[in-house]
């Protein structure tokens, strides 16, 4: 029987992607939709300005949107996918956990908290056990797991494939699509014929989240990876797909052939949304490209290419679909991991 799930922030850009992914999902059944008070009481069709590239699911369109309040969500809903603005999530997500709901959240609030697992299932599924610590410390019947920032998700799996060589220093420079800023995030006058070398708070997220994701959990505490990470983040006029240039210095000698093989062989998981292969390594020097490669693995694969030696270690490019692998798909995959591990 399918698990009854709800979407917090269901009318937004990421909320719509969540509905697109959850509606055909055999393990989940959409049973609750929440948004701001302005949307509460409306049908989903009335409340959401549907902008996703597939039709609005007919059954979801006629559901009534409620306020984002634990008292408004039916108690037989087992899991909530959250795509609320982080300022809202910080207030209400803990209230849902306290009320007994398991929350798989895409919002950035709490990602770096010591007792909140920040998870990319193919990279650090073992960190999910932090939920035991979380429940002990917070006294929650529910639980909260986060997925990382979309640009973090794009490069960390490629680093995970190289950890046997000892990661020392990582430089990453991003070219991020406009959808990452949300529909009203940057105006056409700002971004057409332009690039913006600043995305508020983004560089710190790549630098800190990557070290948490590649850290070690000993059953009680999580220690962060000791590598140095420096990030530079840029907005460019693509619609979807974050492209990143990466330089990695390792303790052990790392040839481009060995790196390509390690990435190609890095395992995916036996979960519905985990693509096989996880990392698609291109031989062509001009790939990956956002428009051509963002839908690999139904938008859940990581693409890499341009591997070469440089004075700053191994150099390569990587790409992922920012609103699927980087946001909604990441939360759904964490939901599948929670289900697989008996948290529902």
Ligand X SMILES: N[C@@H](CC(=O)OP(=O)(O)O)C(=O)O
Ligand Y SMILES: NC(=O)C1=CN([C@@H]2O[C@H](COP(=O)(O)OP(=O)(O)OC[C@H]3O[C@@H](n4cnc5c(N)ncnc54)[C@H](OP(=O)(O)O)[C@@H]3O)[C@@H](O)[C@H]2O)C=CC1
Which residues contact ligand X (rule: CB under 6 A)? 86, 108, 149-150, 176, 180-181, 199, 202, 205, 322
Selected catalytic residue, list 97, 127, 233, 242: 242
- Work out how close the CB of 94 gets to ligand X at its nearest, in angstroms, rounded to a whole number: 18
Task: Tell me if residue 150 is catalytic.
Answer: yes
Q: Please choose which of ligand X, ligand Y, none residue 83 contacts, taking the beta carbon within 5 to 8 angstroms, the exact cut-off set by kind.
A: ligand Y
Task: Tell me if residue 171 is catalytic.
Answer: no
Rounded to an integer, what distance in angstroms lies between the CA atom of residue 211 and that of residue 223?
9
Give the residue with the Cβ less far from ligand Y, 8 or 227. 8
**Which residues, in sequence order, are CB contacts of 30 under 8 Å at separation 6+?**
5, 6, 7, 19, 22, 23, 59, 60, 63
Residue ranges binding ligand Y (CB under 6 A):
9-15, 35-36, 38-39, 68, 83-86, 88, 106-108, 150, 179-180, 182-183, 322-323, 326-327
**322 phi-psi bin (left φ>0, alpha ψ -120 to 50, beta other):** alpha
- Work out how close the CB of 200 gets to ligand X at its nearest, in angstroms, rounded to a whole number: 8
- Work out how close the CB of 41 gets to ligand X at its nearest, in angstroms, rounded to a whole number: 28
Q: Please choose which of ligand X, ligand Y, none residue 344 contacts, taking the beta carbon within 5 to 8 angstroms, the exact cut-off set by kind.
A: none
- How far the first Cα of the chain sits from its last, in Å, is 12
Q: Cα angle vertex 330, ends 103, 203, to 5°?
A: 100
Selected catalytic residue, list 150, 233, 318, 321: 150
Q: Please choose which of ligand X, ligand Y, none residue 202 contacts, taking the beta carbon within 5 to 8 angstroms, the exact cut-off set by kind.
A: ligand X
**Residue 46 is inside which H or E element, if any?**
helix 44-47
Give the residue with the Cβ less far from ligand X, 15 or 313. 15
- CB-count burial class (<10 Å; 0-12, 13-18, 19+) for 74: exposed
Closest CA to 11 of 76, 74, 68: 68
Positions annotated as catalytic residues are 150, 242
């Amino acid at each position: 029987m399918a698990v009854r799930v709800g979407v917090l922030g269901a009318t937004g850009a990421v909320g719509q992607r969540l509905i697109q992914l959850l509606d055909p999902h055999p393990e989940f059944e959409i049973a609750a939709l929440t948004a701001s008070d302005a949307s509460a009481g409306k049908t989903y069709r009335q409340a959401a300005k549907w902008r996703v590239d597939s039709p609005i699911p007919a059954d979801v369109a006629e559901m009534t949107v409620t306020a984002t309040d634990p008292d408004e969500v039916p108690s037989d809903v087992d899991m909530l996918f959250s795509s609320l603005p982080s300022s809202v999530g910080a207030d209400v997500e803990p209230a849902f956990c306290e009320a007994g709901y398991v929350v798989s959240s895409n919002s950035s609030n709490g990602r770096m908290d010591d007792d909140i697992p920040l998870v990319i299932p193919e990279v650090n599924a073992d960190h999910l056990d932090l939920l035991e610590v979380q429940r002990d410390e917070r006294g929650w019947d529910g639980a909260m797991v986060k997925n990382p920032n979309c640009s973090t998700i794009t490069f960390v799996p490629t680093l995970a494939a190289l950890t046997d060589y000892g990661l020392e220093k990582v430089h990453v420079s991003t070219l991020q699509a406009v959808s990452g800023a949300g529909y009203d995030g940057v105006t056409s006058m700002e971004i057409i014929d332009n690039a913006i070398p600043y995305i508020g708070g983004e560089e710190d997220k790549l630098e800190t989240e990557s070290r948490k994701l590649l850290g070690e959990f000993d059953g009680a505490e999580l220690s962060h990876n000791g590598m140095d990470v420096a990030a530079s983040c840029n907005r460019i006029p693509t619609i979807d797909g974050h492209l990143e240039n990466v330089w990695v210095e390792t303790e052990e000698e790392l040839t481009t052939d060995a790196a390509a093989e390690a990435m190609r062989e890095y395992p995916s998981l036996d979960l519905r949304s985990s693509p096989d292969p996880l990392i698609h390594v291109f031989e062509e020097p001009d790939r990956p490209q956002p428009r051509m490669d963002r839908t690999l693995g139904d938008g859940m694969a990581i693409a890499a290419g341009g591997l070469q030696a440089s004075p700053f270690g191994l150099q390569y490019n990587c790409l992922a679909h920012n609103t699927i692998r980087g946001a909604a798909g990441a939360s759904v995959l964490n939901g599948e991991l929670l289900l697989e591990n008996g948290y529902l």
